[in-house]
């Protein structure tokens, strides 16, 4: 079977909520020699992306999104260890990423982290509902280039201002770039709150991360 057809079947399993098939289809792709990052991007994530678009259009509903996520996670379980041990890991830069204080949405973060890893970023996942103090500590501990804040509601996106304030108060603001992510974000508003950028799409965000790394290099900080 053509590689593109195998990847299409993985994406379709996510759309079809086919938890039985997805692991076997992912294994078939690996056995055919497809790179794990490609299976993630063009198979599982492509399927999840379509689910997200259908959700926005009102063609699928929340319970279906959640089942598709389970299917996505099932395939991801197989690929994540392979991607994390891959030689490209951390090639482009290092990130810490957590869901901002007060926000318990996990799915967007769990989709975004492997996309960034597959793109060559080392990502330290801080989990959900991360207090500002924990973010400050994680910057000290991991010395990342980029801080990713998962902000999935308007109220928690607005909390960005306070998180940035605490990073500034700790004297760490000049060491990192800060990017917000989630469906309620806007790059202009994020900048007004003291962050550097924002994106509502993990695949599109990779180019933004690359630009932030370029800026850090120009400023002599990476």
Nearer to ligand B12, 126 or 202 (CB): 202
Pairing of strands 121-130, 146-150: unpaired
What's the min distance (Å) between Cβ of 107 and ligand B12? Answer: 3
Nearer to ligand B12, 43 or 52 (CB): 52
DSSP letter at 59 equals S
What's the min distance (Å) between Cβ of 48 and ligand B12? Answer: 6
> How many other CB atoms sit within 10 Å of the CB of residue 67?
17
Nearer to ligand B12, 6 or 147 (CB): 147
Which among 162, 169, 170, 212 has a CA at the least distance from the CA of 187? 212
Nearer to ligand B12, 30 or 187 (CB): 187
What's the min distance (Å) between Cβ of 98 and ligand B12? Answer: 9
Cβ distance 177 to 217 under 8 Å?
A: no
Nearer to ligand B12, 91 or 155 (CB): 155
Side by side, the strands of the sheet bearing 197-199 are 121-130, 93-100, 146-150, 177-181, 197-199
Beta-carbon contacts of residue 56 (< 8 Å; ≥ 6 apart): none
What's the min distance (Å) between Cβ of 33 and ligand B12? Answer: 27
Nearer to ligand B12, 201 or 215 (CB): 201
What's the min distance (Å) between Cβ of 75 and ligand B12? Answer: 15
Binding interface with ligand B12 (CB under 6 A):
52, 62, 65, 97, 102-109, 111-112, 148-150, 152-155, 179, 181-184, 199-202, 205
Q: Look-up: residue for tokens 């973060």?
A: 109
What's the min distance (Å) between Cβ of 2 and ligand B12? Answer: 27
Dihedral of alpha carbons 56, 58, 60, 65, sign: positive
């Amino acid at each position: 079977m053509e590689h593109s057809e195998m990847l299409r079947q993985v994406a379709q399993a996510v759309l079809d909520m086919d938890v039985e098939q997805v692991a076997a289809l992912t294994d078939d792709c690996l056995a055919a020699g497809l790179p794990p990052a490609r299976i993630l991007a063009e198979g599982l994530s492509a399927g999840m992306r379509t689910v997200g678009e259908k959700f926005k259009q009102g063609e699928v509903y929340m319970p279906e999104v959640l089942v598709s996520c389970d299917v996505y996670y099932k395939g991801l379980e197989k690929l994540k260890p392979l991607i994390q041990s891959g030689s490209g890991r951390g090639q482009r830069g290092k990130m810490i990423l957590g869901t901002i204080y007060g926000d318990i949405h996990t799915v967007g973060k769990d989709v975004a982290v492997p996309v960034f890893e597959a793109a060559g970023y080392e990502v330290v996942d801080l989990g959900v509902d991360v207090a500002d103090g924990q973010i400050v500590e994680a910057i000290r501990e991991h010395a990342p280039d980029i801080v990713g804040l998962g902000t999935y509601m308007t109220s928690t996106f607005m909390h960005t201002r306070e998180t940035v304030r605490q990073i500034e108060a700790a004297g760490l603001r000049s060491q990192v770039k800060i990017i917000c992510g989630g469906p309620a974000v806007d790059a202009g508003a994020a900048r007004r709150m003291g962050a550097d950028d924002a994106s509502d799409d993990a695949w599109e965000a990779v180019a933004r991360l690359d630009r932030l790394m370029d800026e850090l290099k120009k400023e002599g900080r990476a």
